[in-house]
Amino acid sequence: MTRFRTYHEVSHDTGSHLLEQVVEQGERLKARLDRIGTVVAVASGKGGVGKSAVTANLAALLAQGGLEVGVVDADLNGPSIGRMLGALGARLADEPDGIVPARGAAGVRVISMELLQDEEDAPLRWREPGGHTYLWQSSVEATALREFLGDVAWGDLDVLLVDVPPGTDKIRRLLELVPGLGGTLVVTTPSELSRSVVARSLRLIHEAEVPVVGLVSNMSGYLCPDCGGLHALFPGTAPEELAARFEVPIWGEIPFDPRLGASTDRGMPWVLEDPEGAVADAFRSVARRVREELLGGRRP
């Protein structure tokens, strides 16, 4: 039997230049991220907990406070950040340094698949000359996220928030692309179902040794407009249980307010529309922790 040398034992100079191109992609991404103070994932693992609304409102609040803020909508198949930040329909300038992101509410810079698709309600489809999309869909989506991070001319940002879609695999993908991830905001609701799903994400994040992790308890209760009391929406104490098990702090408890959803539908985050309300107060608590824990207390 022929005795073969291993892949790494033979010359790398094949002339195919594949490795060089992959290395160059990594260098381009790193150069872009080097100009960003910190990259923060807003993740959950579970759908329907309000990650995107948390991302949009937090981004707007930080930007309103004078920080330079960008948002990557990593939810390629269910994008919503463009609409929530009022950037839907914006055209993206194609400049030598990269694609200039759209500007949304409070001047937040944003890139989202929503801005690139023609029909608002069309499912995301990739050209598939060879068919068998399942074989390469994950590859093209990973490339799309890399391009969103590295090919967009973010400029000098204080913070770049990445709205991560449901699924622990999506969190892992971001961790591989951004090994220097500054922190993760893990969004959960009080429900028992959230607890079990979000625990998987927290375990992954814990194993990846992400330096800063904060929990956000979304829809933590319903603020009664008549009596002003906070009533439970979901049975369960998922945030407290998760915080204790993984030794992570709860950075904020966001009460449910149907007006928040209505305002983000209009492209104006609720924290800007009702800055004195209970929801804005809760978001201010999260924003303060982001500034303290991830931005070294940076203030405009």
Partner 1 sequence: MKFLCVPCDAVMAFSERVLPGDGTMAAVFECGTCGREMALLTNPMETQLVSTMGVKVGGREVPVQPLETVRGSLDDARPDAFTEEAPSPPTVGPVRWSEEALLRLESVPRFVRGMVKRIYTDYAQERGISTISPEVMDRARSDLGLEGM
Residues 66-85 contacting partner 1, CB under 8 A: 85
Contact with partner 1 (CB under 8 A): which of 193, 240, 277, 298? 277
Rounded Cα distance between 189 and 171, Å, is 18
Under rule CB under 8 A, residue 139 binds partner 1? yes
Tell me which of 210, 268, 271, 294 binds partner 1, using CB under 8 A.
Answer: 268
Q: What is the nearest approach in angstroms of partner 1 to the Cβ of residue 13?
A: 7
Q: Among residues 124 and 233, whose Cβ is nearest to partner 1? A: 124
- SS3 state at 229: coil
- Structural tokens at position 47: 């759908």
Q: According to CB under 8 A, which residues from 195 to 214 bind partner 1?
A: none
The yes or no reply on residue 227 touching partner 1 (CB under 8 A) is no
Q: Applying CB under 8 A, does 17 fall inside the site for partner 1? A: yes
From the CB of 87, what's the least distance to partner 1, in Å? 5
Q: Is 228 in the site for partner 1 (CB under 8 A)?
A: no
Shortest separation between residue 122's beta carbon and partner 1, angstroms: 5
Q: Are 139 and 147 in contact (CB under 8 A)?
A: no
CB of 163 to partner 1, least distance (A): 17
Rounded to a whole number of angstroms, the minimum distance from the CB of residue 242 to partner 1 is 32
Residue type at position 136 = W
240 interacts with partner 1 by CB under 8 A: no
Tell me if 33 contacts partner 1 by CB under 8 A.
Answer: no
Q: Given the rule CB under 8 A, which of 38-46, 116-124, 185-193, 239-247 is the region that contacts partner 1?
A: 116-124
- Residue number, 131 or 258, with CB nearest to partner 1: 131
* CA–CA gap between residue 183 and residue 214 (Å, rounded): 8
DSSP H or E stretch at residue 215: strand 212-223
Of the listed pieces 1-9, 156-164, 187-195, 207-215, which binds partner 1 according to CB under 8 A? 1-9
Residues 83-102, interacting with partner 1 (CB under 8 A) = 85-94, 98-100, 102
- Under rule CB under 8 A, which residues in 173-192 are in contact with partner 1? none
Closest residue by Cα to residue 187 from 34, 96, 101, 75: 75
Helix (H) / strand (E) element for 279: namely helix 278-294
Bridge partners (DSSP) listed for residue 215: 186, 250
| Contact window for partner 1 (CB under 8 A) among 39-47, 121-129, 178-186, 284-292 | 121-129
In our burial notation (b when 16+ CB lie closer than 10 A, e otherwise), range 105-144 reads bbebbbbbbbbebeeeeeeeeeeeeeeeeeeeeeeebeeb
Q: Are 15 and 135 in contact (CB under 8 A)?
A: no
Question: At how many degrees (to 10) do helices 192-207 and 168-177 cross?
Answer: 30
